[in-house]
Chains A and B, each alone.
Chain A
Amino acid sequence: MLGEYFSDVWIEGEVSNFKAYPSGHLYFALKDEGSQLQAVCFRHSASRLKFALEDGLLVIGHGRLEVYQPSGKYQVILDAIEPKGLGALQKAFEQLKRKLEKEGLFATERKRALPELARVVGIVTSPAGAAVHDMIRTLRLHKAHVKVVLFPAQVQGEGAAEQIAEGIATLCARPEIDVVIVGRGGGSIEDLWSFNEEVVARAIAASRVPVISGVGHETDFTIADFVADVRAATPTAAAQLVATAWEDLETRLSDLATQLLESLQQVLFEKEQAVDELARHRAFDLMAARVAELGHKVERMTAGAEGATRGTLRHAVAALAVQDEKLNRQSPVAQVLRRKVALQNLAARLEKPVLALVSGQGARLGRAGAGLDALSPLASLDRGYSICLKPDGSVVSRTGQVRPGEDISLRVSDGSIGCRVERTGGTDTGGY
């Protein structure tokens, strides 16, 4: 009779004296400030509970009232129990946290490092939320040239946790994915609740690739954050973690291009110094004296030409010209100068592609380019000189390196000119 009148009651109270029996039935008392009532939740209903009952928990239960015959006391048979209020959710959070921690799911040793450079990023979040926009905007802003594969998932409400878990599993099963970001924008603890569910935690733990969590605001901590390989404070921060590597890459490339040019400048500078040193050698003074002497000889011959026949004079002048040309060809001065202009030409030609590289980049690279211009001693050297190369690519710097009939090429600013050696001459100047 009692059961007829009270077959559909709602009851609220704090769980106390909680006992779970091996049969699966749960026995406990529900109490408030002034009273308490014995409660039973049979196995069938107990298996549908989302959280673990324990002493101190505030709950609302649904069921029917009856009298327990042996003792004659009232008791309520509950078929549904819901946690009540924030305190209850907090409880469930702590329960799951404790459980997973015990399993070692939060252990530091489990955390995987993010890939140095992620190329394909999987994102599990709502396609309509603020988070997805924040993340895409952040990646674009930092020039992360990644491919994003979004798994559109509901991120709050019934079934959201299952969708999020499916998203993580689906994305990490795709071989191209390097890293997965899972997250959503800020909200109440109820809004963020899906990220506190075990199914999400398990999916993160099972992921093939590192998972970054970015849930809510800085102050929000979810179970997903604890299991994730990296916890980002917000979805934006999560995207930033991926983007930074791309930014670093660009900086590194620009730095290397600058260093490359500077190091070659140093090499060329040293070679040039060696050439200059050689040019100051005493041998060149002797050479100059010899040229001067020849000049005097011509003067004397011209002066004495009155008595000579025109033919003899012409012959003498021609002989002198041949000798002079020969001298010029053999002259180490000429060789040294050729070598020097070759170096300068080379420097100017080689500098161009690097400067193009450096100046073509963004603001930071532009700065690096400007710095280079300022310090470059080579900027004024582009004057159309050439460098002489053998077919194997080696630089011809001495007459002894080539033989008559051999093919060589002259490299000029816009290409090369094929040549054949007719004569060689002169003495090796040695020294370098």
Chain B
Amino acid sequence: MSKSEKPTEAIDFEKALAELEGIVKQLEAGNLALEKSLALFERGVQLARACKDKLAEAELKVSQLVKDKQGLFSEEVFKEERG
């Protein structure tokens, strides 16, 4: 699309949403050439999709810290005792 977008780059929600907000504002302001509008829209869709995918893939993970003999902590999966 434009400049140097790295699709693999970890999505920063805040940044992505801020950019998306900017795109919506530009589109709403109107007076843009069709090409420009389309480019903005496609970038917007790309951002929204990336955010949504990230949300979908992220799941609640719970680990607990366990102290070893040297007093160092390591992470273990936390299993709830009930429920």
- B-binding residues in A (CB < 8 A): 116-117, 127-128, 132-133, 136-137, 139-140, 143-152, 170-171, 249-250, 252-253, 256-257, 259-260, 263-264, 266-267, 270-271, 343, 346, 350, 353-354, 357, 360-361, 393-395
Contacts and interface: CB of A to CB of B under 8 A. Distances in A.
Nearest to A151: B65
18 contacts: A116-B14, A128-B81, A145-B59, A148-B78, A150-B65, A250-B55, A256-B17, A260-B23, A264-B27, A267-B27, A267-B34, A270-B30, A343-B34, A346-B38, A350-B41, A360-B52, A361-B52, A394-B35
A147 B58 CA distance: 9
A149 B64 contact: yes
Contacts of A353: 45, 49
B79 to A, nearest CB: 9
Nearest to A142: B60
B61 A148 contact: yes
B82 interface: yes
Contact of B32 (A132, A133, A260, A267): A267
Contact of B62 (A150, A259, A267): A150
A127 B49 contact: no
Contacts of B28: 259, 263, 266
Interface in B10-29: 13-14, 17, 20-21, 23-24, 27-28
Given A152-B64, A256-B48, 11 more contacts: A117-B13, A127-B64, A145-B59, A145-B60, A147-B61, A148-B62, A149-B64, A249-B17, A260-B24, A263-B28, A343-B34
Contacts of B61: 146-148
B41 to A, nearest CB: 5
Contacts of B5: none
A263 B22 CA distance: 12
B80 interface: yes
Judged by DSSP, the binding face of A is: helix
Contact of A253 (B41, B52, B65, B80): B52
A171 to B, nearest CB: 8
B20 A260 contact: yes
B17 to A, nearest CB: 6
Nearest to A365: B52
Nearest to A343: B34
B4 interface: no
B60 A393 contact: no
Interface residues of B, number: 42
Nearest to B16: A253
Nearest to B39: A393
A313 to B, nearest CB: 47
Interface string B68-79: 000001010010
B37 A267 contact: yes
B83 interface: yes
A389 to B, nearest CB: 9
Contact of B65 (A139, A140, A170, A343): A170
B48 A257 contact: yes
Contacts of A150: 62-65, 78
A357 B48 CA distance: 8
B42 A350 contact: yes
A253 B45 contact: no
Contacts of B41: 260, 264, 350
A412 B63 CA distance: 49
Nearest to B59: A145
A270 B34 CA distance: 10
A260 B45 CA distance: 8
Contacts of B73: 170
Contacts of A145: 55, 58-60
Nearest to A120: B61
Contacts of B49: 353, 357
Contacts of A267: 27, 30, 32, 34, 37
Contacts of B21: 256
A136 B82 CA distance: 12
A-B complex: 3 closest residue pairs judged by Cβ atoms: A145-B58, A263-B27, A150-B64
A152 to B, nearest CB: 6
B45 A350 contact: yes
B71 to A, nearest CB: 10
B24 A259 contact: yes
Contacts of A343: 34
Given A350-B41, A357-B52, A395-B35, A249 B23 contact: no
B30 A136 contact: no
A264 B48 CA distance: 15
A432 B17 CA distance: 34
